[in-house]
Amino acid sequence: MDLPYRFGRYVLLKKIAQGGMAEIFSAKYLGESGFSKDVCIKRLLPVWSDNPSFVKMLIDEAKALVHLTHPNIVQVYELGRDGKTFYISMELVAGIDLRRLFQKTAEEGHPLPLKFVFYIVSEILKALKFAHQRKNEEGRDLKIVHRDISPQNILLSFDGQVKVTDFGIAKGIHRSLETTQHQIKGKYAYMSPEQARGETVDERTDLYAAGILLFELLERKRLFDSANDLATLEKVRKAALPDEALQNYPARLRAVVLKALQREKKYRHPDAADFLKDLQQVIAGERLETQAEEFSEYLRTLFPPAAFQNTRAENAFPAATGKLRRNFSKAGRPAGMFLFLAVLSFWLWKGVFQTGRQVIDTPPVALASPPSASEKPLTGSVTIDAQPKPARGVLKLGEIKKEFVTPFQLAALDLSRAQEGTVVLKSEWGQEKSEILQLSAEQPHWVRTFQFEEPRPAFLKVSARPWGEVTIPGVVSRRETPLAGVKLQSGKYLVQVFYPPQNQKLEQEIQLAAGAQLLCQAEFGESPRFLCR
């Protein structure tokens, strides 16, 4: 096929990449009265167009993406057919991918500013929140799980937008063709432990991958990286984190990251909204808010326009040089027949489902790998936080006993043998919670955020005849009656009422329960009395 090539209202301008099942082009949509729009076209290769199974896969992909119209997700415009060849028309993003940003900041030795780290991950979480909660026309949850949140699938436009692409291997009820039970999908170094074991995955798999991205952006090095695929998968399954990780960051930020990276998914954030809320609290606490305009200016400074003065298509695909390089973070050299079959299946699917891949993989950044377990003793950590307010606690672990105020972290704990201990936490209003903690080589990092229910306030009203001045030590002093709508926490209070003309003083100790409403009436004169009910 010679380029430019016209079919219907589209003109293919430049071939960007070709996988085993599909090819990607930059193109233009030609509308009425001279209207035109830059788009990306993904075409199923002719050799597969007669295969009903692969056509069905492409249709499944379009079905998933048609429900995902969101500023942080690459938009799909149309599923169509040119002769016998099926295609998907989608948004063309002019910018770079996150891997390219990793590489550039590493080359220049300038860490990505923390506010942009938070901005990128927050925008990813907004996309995941939308996708995970999406329903179909009948109101049923689509249960879409991306399963491949990795640097190559995060596009950063020069306008400062962050977009998630490649929902092509997403799992959801839209899918009409299921894969084998143990098929491994996604890039090895960004899988969740359950995904690497071939188990059933849910939205917490995507949150784990987002946690890996946050970790790597903060630490500026790969989390799970080994000489071969088998070793990488083994690290992912164990989900062991280097004990010195994140020590230069506030405890509350460490708690958020380590919660996202828990080996057991029941201990992670339950959904993207919860992860996003925790991260936004850190952003607000550190005063690191930013906007797309500021991020755009940063990207354009780091990648000046002079470096992208070729065609319009090349502006949108700055990492596409030469033919497509298949580099899945060093994945692709199978070891053993099972792994070979799994990887082969993954490649076949990945060839079709390179959804919206405007930016092609570049060689991995040469960053330091985490030290292996043989290089130093195995250590672990404990990270504890409390919401909605800080709490006081006591940690007992072996011979260690620590009193602390949340957020709290204890690192470099010796795990030459498994350890068991207890944590007791008390909120500022007296609620108490406790939990047994266990540390082992399989679960070296224990992270918990204790949720306390803030008690409902009690309300107090004080009246006096003929009048009086009310004092509640620590609350109000010499306030004239009537005193109404005083909001108090549950507990004991001393209420004093003073009548200056006769130098009379009445007082009573009261007990307020959460949510209670109490009226106190002081009567001065020959028979003074003080009643509260």
> Catalytic residue positions?
148
Distance separating alpha carbons of residues 190 and 432, to the nearest angstrom: 37
Evaluated on CA atoms 240, 245, 247, 252, the torsion sign reads negative
Structure tokens at 439: 């540390």
Say which residue the tokens 């990276």 belong to.
261
Considering only CA atoms, which of 195, 127, 135 is closest in space to residue 167? 127
β-strand pairing of 379-387 with 445-451: parallel
Distance separating alpha carbons of residues 58 and 157, to the nearest angstrom: 26
Distance separating alpha carbons of residues 440 and 362, to the nearest angstrom: 37
For 372-466, strand residue ranges (E) read: 379-387, 392-397, 400-405, 408-414, 419-426, 432-439, 445-451, 458-465
Which amino acid does the sequence have at 268?
R
Distances in Å between the Cα of 509 and the Cα atoms of 275, 377, 473, 479, 495 are: 45, 59, 11, 18, 6
Number of helical H runs and strand E runs in the chain: 12, 24
Say which residue the tokens 């199978």 belong to.
334
Distance separating alpha carbons of residues 105 and 367, to the nearest angstrom: 12
Listed in sequence order, the residues at least 6 apart from 502 whose beta carbon sits closer than 8 Å to its beta carbon are 524, 525
Say which residue the tokens 């991995």 belong to.
364
Distance separating alpha carbons of residues 390 and 387, to the nearest angstrom: 7
Listed in sequence order, the residues at least 6 apart from 213 whose beta carbon sits closer than 8 Å to its beta carbon are 98, 120, 121, 124, 149, 150, 151, 154, 190
User: Residue 342 CA to chain centroid, in angstroms?
Assistant: 27
Considering only CA atoms, which of 448, 449, 432 is closest in space to residue 387? 449
Say which residue the tokens 């009226």 belong to.
519
The answer to whether 168 and 307 are in contact (CB under 8 A) is: no
Residue 459 forms beta bridges with which residues? 487, 517
H or E element that contains 522: strand 517-523
